[in-house]
Amino acid sequence: MTATDPTKAKAPAAGLGADLGLSDEDLLGMYRMVALARAVDERMWILNRAGRIPFVISGQGHEGAQVGVTWAFQRGHDWIAPFYRSIAMCMTFGMTARDIMLAQYAKASDPSSGGRQMPGHYGDRRHNLLSVSSPVATQILHAVGIALAAKIRGTGQVALTAMGEGSSNQGDVHEALNFAAIHRLPFIFLVENNGYAISVPAAMEVSVPDVAMRAAGYGIPGVVVDGGDVLACYAAARTAVERARAGDGPTLIEAKVIRLTGHSSDDQQTKYRSDEELAASKGRDALPHFRDQLRAAGVLTEAIEAALTAEIVAIVDDATEFAEAEPDPDPSTAMRWVYAEDWPAETPPPWGFGDGSHG
Ligand SMILES: Cc1ncc(C[n+]2csc(CCOP(=O)(O)OP(=O)(O)O)c2C)c(N)n1
Ligand SMILES: [Mg+2]
């Protein structure tokens, strides 16, 4: 996913992203991913309200930060321990709209868990995406463990985890950052600060204005970045990944994002957020901001935009129809694969432990 093919990059200073080694093709790829993740997410809400899927926990407002940061990682090589809002992150790392919808519908062929995980708990072994943990923040320990393994094995891999600012107050985070810093592990911690933990505002969750300030307590860089600025997120992550691969240890990146929806489909945020506040947060949305940037730079032409819009509608329609038509899991298998179990190679579970290992 590192987007630095020099043959594709424009001459320096020629255009947007050139200073970051991003070609027009990269910029369009990033924009496509932000827009696609948004469209998949919007469709999920419609399906929920129509009674087709039981529960939605949304990434809307987080996509720019997720795509910007993840773009700096090497797909198929590095590892991510995502959280429930990480739709755009998981898609950037290789999950398709069909994969996301299969999880939403909890179908037998859902690559996240064969329909066993809670909705929104994405994971995909094929793409080095760990399954989401329901107890918030525990995933940081898993990611740091992966980073430790990468260091011991000398693989050059970097591990990323993400979570909200509320979750970042859990004790696991202290233990993980301290350990990762001491051992200079190739680890990046992304805090997607959307200002709320369900209905609790950030000022009542975090004792400092920026979670990134806490990085100083571990002797690691702490960077605050505008989550509405995809390229700024990419730049911050690129620096952190370079640092990690060079053996210089972890970085904490805090992206100030927005939450465009309620906490979940079971929450109504107008009960605790004013109209003014909601309108102001919409003004910080990465999607229209990035679109404007690409239009102004001449990268997103009218023709490209029209084709992209049509392509995204087709992908979302296809994913919905595909997942809707897939078979549900066989109820007699409900208790299988909950705990460790050897699965014979000839009857692999639907999400692909086909080589007989637990991976
Ligand atoms: C250990 C634990 N405590 C509480 C919960 C319930 N819970 C789920 S999401 C959430 C809010 C998390 O807020 P934040 O970390 O800011 O992430 P956001 O949802 O805002 O993206 C809470 C309290 C949980 N899943 N795990
Ligand atoms: Mg939050």
Q: Is the distance from the beta carbon of residue 121 to the nearest atom of ligand 1 less than 6 Å?
A: no
Domain assignment present for residue 17? The answer is no
320 and 351 together in one domain: no
For the cut 50, the answer to whether the pLDDT of residue 251 exceeds it is yes
Burial of 27 (0-12, 13-18, 19+ CB in 10 A): buried
128 and 145 together in one domain: yes
For the cut 90, the answer to whether the pLDDT of residue 359 exceeds it is no
Domains of the chain: total: 2
Distance CA 227, CA 194 (A): 9
> Amino acid identity of 83?
F
State the residue range of the domain holding 135.
25-328
293 and 350 together in one domain: no
Quick one: pLDDT at residue 348?
Answer: 62
265 and 301 together in one domain: yes
> Amino acid identity of 357?
S
Three-state DSSP class for 348? coil
Beta strand pairing status for 196-197 and 200-201? antiparallel
pLDDT tens per residue, range 301-335: 999 999 999 999 999 999 999 999 999 999 888 87
Burial of 67 (0-12, 13-18, 19+ CB in 10 A): buried
Beta strand pairing status for 251-256 and 187-193? parallel
Domain assignment present for residue 9? The answer is no
Ramachandran area for residue 262 (φ above 0: left; ψ -120 to 50: alpha; else beta): beta
Torsion sign over Cα 196, 201, 204, 208: positive
Nearest to 29 by CA among 58, 70, 59, 61: 70
The DSSP letter of residue 336 is T
Mean of the per-residue pLDDT values for the chain? 92
- Helix-strand-coil percent breakdown of the chain, rounded to 5? 45, 10, 45
Quick one: pLDDT at residue 303?
Answer: 98
Task: State in Å: Cα 290 to ligand 1 middle.
Answer: 28
For the cut 70, the answer to whether the pLDDT of residue 358 exceeds it is no
Domain assignment present for residue 16? The answer is no
299 and 359 together in one domain: no
Ligand 1 pocket test, pick from 56, 165, 167, 272 with the greatest ligand atom count within 8 Å of Cβ, gives: 167
For the cut 70, the answer to whether the pLDDT of residue 265 exceeds it is yes
Banded model confidence at residue 350, pLDDT cuts 50, 70, 90: low
142 and 275 together in one domain: yes
Secondary element (H or E) of residue 101: helix 97-105
Q: How many percent of the chain have pLDDT more than 70?
A: 91
Q: Which ligand is nearest to the CA of 267?
A: 1
Question: Model-level pTM?
Answer: 0.93
Distance CA 71, CA 257 (A): 17
Domain assignment present for residue 133? The answer is yes
Banded model confidence at residue 356, pLDDT cuts 50, 70, 90: very low
Stretch 118-129: mean pLDDT, rounded? 94
Domain assignment present for residue 123? The answer is yes
Q: Is the distance from the beta carbon of residue 268 to the nearest atom of ligand 1 less than 6 Å?
A: no
For the cut 80, the answer to whether the pLDDT of residue 8 exceeds it is no
Q: How many percent of the chain have pLDDT more than 90?
A: 86
Distance CA 353, CA 344 (A): 10
Torsion sign over Cα 235, 126, 109, 142: negative
Banded model confidence at residue 352, pLDDT cuts 50, 70, 90: low
Angle, helices 302-325 vs 97-105, to 10°: value is 30
Catalytic residues: 259, 263, 272
Domain assignment present for residue 10? The answer is no
Task: Between 214 and 342, name the one with better pLDDT.
Answer: 214
Domain assignment present for residue 218? The answer is yes
pLDDT tens per residue, range 132-186: 989 999 999 999 999 999 999 999 999 999 999 999 999 999 999 999 999 999 9
Quick one: pLDDT at residue 285?
Answer: 98
Q: Is the distance from the beta carbon of residue 109 to the nearest atom of ligand 1 less than 6 Å?
A: no
- Give the DSSP per-residue string, 10-44: PPTTSSTTGGGT--HHHHHHHHHHHHHHHHHHHHH
**Nearest 10 degrees: Cα torsion 205, 210, 216, 217:** -10
- CATH number of the domain where residue 91 is located: 3.40.50.970
Distance CA 287, CA 229 (A): 9
Task: Between 138 and 342, name the one with better pLDDT.
Answer: 138
242 and 335 together in one domain: no
323 and 347 together in one domain: no
pLDDT tens per residue, range 34-71: 999 999 999 999 999 999 999 999 999 999 999 999 99
323 and 344 together in one domain: no
Q: Is the distance from the beta carbon of residue 194 to the nearest atom of ligand 1 less than 6 Å?
A: yes
Distance CA 236, CA 68 (A): 9
Q: Is the distance from the beta carbon of residue 165 to the nearest atom of ligand 1 less than 6 Å?
A: yes
266 and 308 together in one domain: yes
Compute the half-sphere exposure of residue 139: CA atoms within 13 Å on the CB side of its CA: 30
174 and 49 together in one domain: yes
Secondary element (H or E) of residue 234: helix 230-245
Domain assignment present for residue 20? The answer is no
Banded model confidence at residue 14, pLDDT cuts 50, 70, 90: low
Quick one: pLDDT at residue 345?
Answer: 64
134 and 233 together in one domain: yes
How far is CA 112 from its chain centroid? Answer: 14
Ligand 1 pocket test, pick from 55, 133, 136, 281 with the greatest ligand atom count within 8 Å of Cβ, gives: 136
Tell which atom from ligand 1 comes closest to the C-alpha of 135. 26
